[in-house]
Structure formats: C-alpha cells, structure tokens
Homo-oligomer: A and B are copies of this chain.
Amino acid sequence: MELAMAQKPVKSGAKPARRTKARPYHLGDLKEKLIAATEALILEKGVDGFSLREVARRAGVSPAAPSHHFGDAQGLLAEVAYLGFRDFADALAAADARGKNPATRLHEQGLAYVGFALSHPARFTLMFRQRAFGAGHTGLETESARAFSILENAIRAATGTAPDEHLSQDGFGLLLATWSIVHGFAHLALEGQLDHAAGERRIGILDVILPLTLQHLPAARPG
C-alpha cells in the first residue's frame, strides 16, 4: 500500500542541509534571545507592534518554539516587564544609596527614574502597560512594589515618618508630587513632546525642575 506511506510529508528534492555547530537543534540560550528580540522589536515598532511570530522570526526559530519557555505571548511580555522592573528597582536603590540626605536621595532617585525611562524606552513603556493590564506574574508585582517602596522610604526619611506610621497628608502629597513629576517628564520625553530641547539639555533640565518640588522638603533629618 504505497498510498499509506505517501501520507508522510516528503522532503523536497534537495538533501536536507546538515546541522552545523553554528545552528544546533537545542540552542540553550533561546530564552534570552527571545527576550532580547522582544525588547528590540518593541523599541522599533512600539508595544503595539509586538508579535510573537516576529519575535520568533528574529530569534531564527519556529513560531511554536517560544511556547516551551513562556507559555503564550502574554507570558513573554510579562517576563520582559518583570525583568524591567527588577532592573528599574535596582537602579533606584543604587541612586538612593548615592544620596547623602533625604533631599539628595530623592533627587538622585528622580534622575535615575528618568534616566532609566530614556535609556530603556521599550522596557519602560511595556512595564507600566503590563502593570496596568494586571498581568498575573508574581515577580512583576513584587519588583514593582519594591521600586515603589524605595521612593516611599526616602519620603519617610524626609518627613520623619516611622515605618509603622501612616504618611501624613503632606507626606503623601510629597510622594505623589515627586512620582508625578518624574513620571510625567519621562512620558513627555518619550512621547517626543520635548524634542525641541536636545538630549543633553533635556536631562539637564531635571536639575532645574526637581528642586521645584523637592525644596519643599522639611529640613533633612538623619534617615
């Protein structure tokens, strides 16, 4: 019964190319490659321009391959957002450590916040979109909460509020004002609203605007 055998798809005329070392069957680092491809794609085309197939294509892999690492497309996006928040929180923590008193801690954090957004626009945009979307990725929630707590702690130090105390209305206002101003500046810059001011000047202007909010800090107390 030749027919039965013919059901198996027949390779086209040419010999199948032999696998070379350069392109083994198991890649080992596919997970990292997919993450990198995702960031690159979002950088080029925006978050809406993302597609799982295009990412697979860029990683040189079949469209079904990513599912083994991330489940579905949403899983990949959540993972990228998680990694973003992890690095973001690290950057804020490092900046905070550079500050010598509450005012400079907040100033450094603000510079780091905007610096991160401008250096990693794809990540930054995706991070907040995923968080808003409520992706059920526990790491994402943990790391974004950590980022927020770094800001909150500096505000607590600035206002002399103990960890078990509620922030005063003014403290809460200060926290929100600081967050808003850096978040807004980052968005305006990423949206291209600030393009008339060149790169250097754009980030330099932060040294002017951050103090407008931060000069309202109560006298620094040992944090």
Residues of A whose CB lies within 8 Å of any CB of B are: 47-48, 128, 131-132, 134, 169-170, 172-174, 176-177, 179-188, 191-194, 205, 208-209, 212-213, 215-216
Closest to A213 in B: B212
Least Cβ–Cβ distance between A56 and chain B, in angstroms: 21
B131 and A209 contact, CB distance less than 8 A: no
Known: A132-B193, A177-B181. 7 other contacts (CB 8 A): A131-B193, A132-B192, A176-B209, A180-B209, A181-B213, A183-B187, A184-B185
Interface of A is mostly: helix
Max chain B CB contacts within 10 Å: which of A169, A181, A186? A181
State in angstroms the CA–CA spacing of A78 and B209 once bound together. Answer: 32
Closest to A182 in B: B184
Q: A179-B188, A181-B181, A191-B131 are in contact. Are A173 and B208 (CB under 8 A)?
A: yes
B residues within 8 A CB of A215?
216
B residues within 8 A CB of A187?
183-184, 187
B residues within 8 A CB of A209?
173-174, 176-177, 180
B residues within 8 A CB of A205?
172-173, 176
State in angstroms the CA–CA spacing of A101 and B215 once bound together. Answer: 23
B residues within 8 A CB of A208?
169-170, 172-173, 176-177
Q: A208-B169, A212-B213, A216-B212 are in contact. Are A185 and B176 (CB under 8 A)?
A: yes
B residues within 8 A CB of A181?
177, 180-181, 184, 213
A179 and B184 contact, CB distance less than 8 A: yes
Max chain B CB contacts within 10 Å: which of A47, A131, A134, A176? A176
